[in-house]
Amino acid sequence: MHKVEFSDCLIHTKVRGHLEIRDRILEQIAEVEEESLCVEDEYYSDSIAKYDWYNAKDFNRPWVRTFDRYYKETIGEAIDSLAYTAADMKSIWFQQYLEDGGHGWHIHGQHYTGVYYLEYSDGCGKTEICSPYNLKKMQIDVKEGDMIIFPAHWIHRGRANGKNRKTIISFNFDIIADRLNLMKL
């Protein structure tokens, strides 16, 4: 077997209007019924204080409707920069982490995945991404209001969180490329 290295990218951008929607989304998330995840074994570790992944395909949840316009604007710009035509959202959910909370190494099932750092202060756990090609790791330095987008098959994790609560919105989407864009290649 011979592996051939091929360049790819991670998009790191700001969500326009973050300050307009932050508190409203956090209030809406506070109203969501408590659901937590705690898994600890010799291979994997998760400690998520609150999440709604079980409803990830329900796009009518109040916080999702609040975020929708801002998400579409940000994703639209990202997709344009990648020379694709559109994004087809498949799932979206939030996760909240308290002190020492984290999310073990994993991948997602769509073309792309992303993380919006809705509530994120100094000392919060960073996202770490690992190349499936050479297993080289990279920590992503973000600030509150940032969004990162990357291929869903990239191995990644949420490192252990500091003392302040961290809230992220994660999402998966497929990309659409029309024939005209592809014919330009």
3 is a domain residue: no
The parent domain of residue 34 ranges over: 11-176
Rounded Cα distance, 185 and 182, in Å: 6
> Lowest-pLDDT range, 38-47, 129-138, 162-171?
38-47
The pLDDT tens digits of the residues spanning 132-159 come to: 888 999 999 999 999 999 999 999 999 9
What pLDDT is stored for residue 2 in this prediction?
86
Q: Quick check: 82 pLDDT over 90?
A: no
**Dihedral angle sign, alpha carbons of residues 132, 9, 22, 162:** positive
- How many other CB atoms are found less than 10 A from the CB of residue 185? 6
Q: How many domains does the chain have?
A: 1
181 is a domain residue: no
Residue 43: band (very low, low, confident or very high) from pLDDT cuts 50, 70, 90: low
What pLDDT is stored for residue 117 in this prediction?
98
Nearest CA-CA partner of 144 in 172, 104, 115, 173: 115
6 is a domain residue: no
91 is a domain residue: yes
Parallel, antiparallel or unpaired: strands 11-14 and 146-151: antiparallel
Residue 35: band (very low, low, confident or very high) from pLDDT cuts 50, 70, 90: confident
Rounded Cα distance, 159 and 112, in Å: 20
What pLDDT is stored for residue 42 in this prediction?
61
Q: Which residue has the tokens 């409803």?
A: 55
Residue 167: band (very low, low, confident or very high) from pLDDT cuts 50, 70, 90: very high
Q: What's the CATH number where 32 sits?
A: 2.60.120.620
Hey, which residues does 89 pair with through a beta bridge? 173
Q: Quick check: 51 pLDDT over 90?
A: yes
Report the pLDDT averaged over residues 7-20: 92
4 is a domain residue: no
Instruction: Output the pTM of the full model.
Output: 0.92
145 is a domain residue: yes
Per DSSP, the three-state class of 99 is coil
Q: Quick check: 168 pLDDT over 70?
A: yes
71 is a domain residue: yes
Per DSSP, the three-state class of 51 is strand
Report the pLDDT averaged over residues 69-93: 91
DSSP letter for each residue of 67-84: HHHHHHHHHHHHHHHTT-
Name 107's Cβ contacts closer than 8 Å, sequence gap at least 6.
Answer: 152, 153, 154, 155, 156
Name 3's Cβ contacts closer than 8 Å, sequence gap at least 6.
Answer: 133
